[in-house]
Amino acid sequence: MLKIISSSFIVSLALATAVAASPPGPIRPLAPKAMLSYTNGSDVVSGPAIVQADMIAALKSVEAHGLNPADYHLDALTNYGTDGDMAIYAVDAWMSAASHIAFGKLSPKSVEPDWTAKGREANLSAHLREALANGTLVSSLDRLAPQHMAYQSLTTELAGRLAGTVDDLPVVPSGVTLKSGMTGPRVTLLQTRLDLEATGTFDEETVAAVKTFQTANDLDDDGAVGPATLRVLNRNRTHELDQLRVNLERWRWLPDDLGQKHVRVNIADFSVQAWQNGQIDRVHGAIVGKTYRKTPIFSDVIEYVVINPWWETPYSLASRDKLPLFKRDPSAVQRLGFQVLDQAGTPVDATTIDWTSIPAGTMPYRLRQSPGPVNALGQVKIMFPNVHNVYLHDTPDRGLFAQRQRAFSSGCIRTQNPLELTAWLLSDKDGWDRARIDQAVESKRETRVDLVTKTPVHVLYMTAVSDAAGVRFLDDIYERDTAILTGLNRKANSR
């Protein structure tokens, strides 16, 4: 995924060996305007001079992107070195930092095995040459960063928080869910955390404050402090700095162009966004995979939609979910509109099957659910064929969208008001306006409609997002932030 177009900075074997072996010596401080020479081309020649102070300033700028300047020979470049030895350190440090800002410090597949988005491309050597020639070394790394508005908003938020003070609010220990009428030291800490009078009693004022906090953080506003609310409540400055750093890294993995018209799913935000010309046209609520049936993170293209779809029940769901249901209630097969077929595709009379005789976790039959009001896919499915068998679709359980935390599916993305999203996707297809879509729904017949132009879809997992209200920190429902943070905190290897 990562592409560094060929480097033209070649160093002599002597200098390369010196870097690999040990820090340079004898050492001496460099003056603020000291010049470092480097090699260019296939021979060891003198190129444009690198001003040491400018290189140091450039490397320090990576902190604004959530990276650690100390990972890039900063101490050696700041305090020690000879003109010859330090040249290779300067180029090595810049190239490493440039690679991490342009493409990400981590390979996305190292933490997200399903990752398929095409990465960014940049000619780092040419970029450095240009910066040296134009005297713009100080800002050279900033210019390699993603230009997505979301990335810029996160860096702005990071800068503000880096300039802030340490948060010393007390942590509320884990325990039973705190509710109205309860008393005790945990309630006292909760009230302190919410900037309330610490009475130690979970009174009406505390309930109101908890509900306000929950609403602001996209939590179910029940006024009780359970595990999800407690996890968000106990965030401090360090946690939010880390969350910003993690999500900046995720943006560095994405291409600069997500598509002039594209669909963007954010699992952690339970949302589906329809984008066109750099603007959000529509936002839909989403229901995503349960924590033990996680929705994968990947990119693909939407090819077609199916109105009034049959549901070809995946084997995993047929064996894990439907078989236990049919064992308890054999009449559910007909009531829910399922068709049973053998392995050759021949229909089987479900009333002749002894479901209790089928071993748990298996399913010798193929199940299909007919279109209708109880069909698991609802009125439409939006297809981007992929190895995960994941797609966007309607649902008969629309009341679930009233909840703020919506990890209820088996991996697919149930979408609120999907017919409106379908109309948006088909807006350039003659004869398929919203009225025609509604007619197709009323026909109760399965109808496939191909898109005129395949539309990119990106199924992402972002736990810090920006919108009109500013940056929001989301619950890490799949606990995926930790692995990225660990990688970011690991000292970078030199190039």
Residues forming the active site: 393, 412
**Rounded Cα distance, 116 and 106, in Å:** 15
Taking alpha carbons only, the member of 217, 197, 6 closest to residue 95 is 6
What strands, in cross-sheet order, belong to the sheet with 366-369? 311-312, 366-369, 338-341, 347-348
- How remote is the C-alpha of 217 from its chain's centroid? 18
Burial tier of 436 (Cβ tally within 10 Å: 0-12, 13-18, 19+):
middle
Residue with tokens 């068709």: 339
| DSSP of 30-97 | PPTT-EE----SSS----SPEEHHHHHHHHHGGGGGT--GGGTTHHHHHH---HHHHHHHHHHHHHHH
| Residue 260: DSSP 8-state | S
**Rounded Cα distance, 363 and 355, in Å:** 10
**Rounded Cα distance, 153 and 63, in Å:** 15
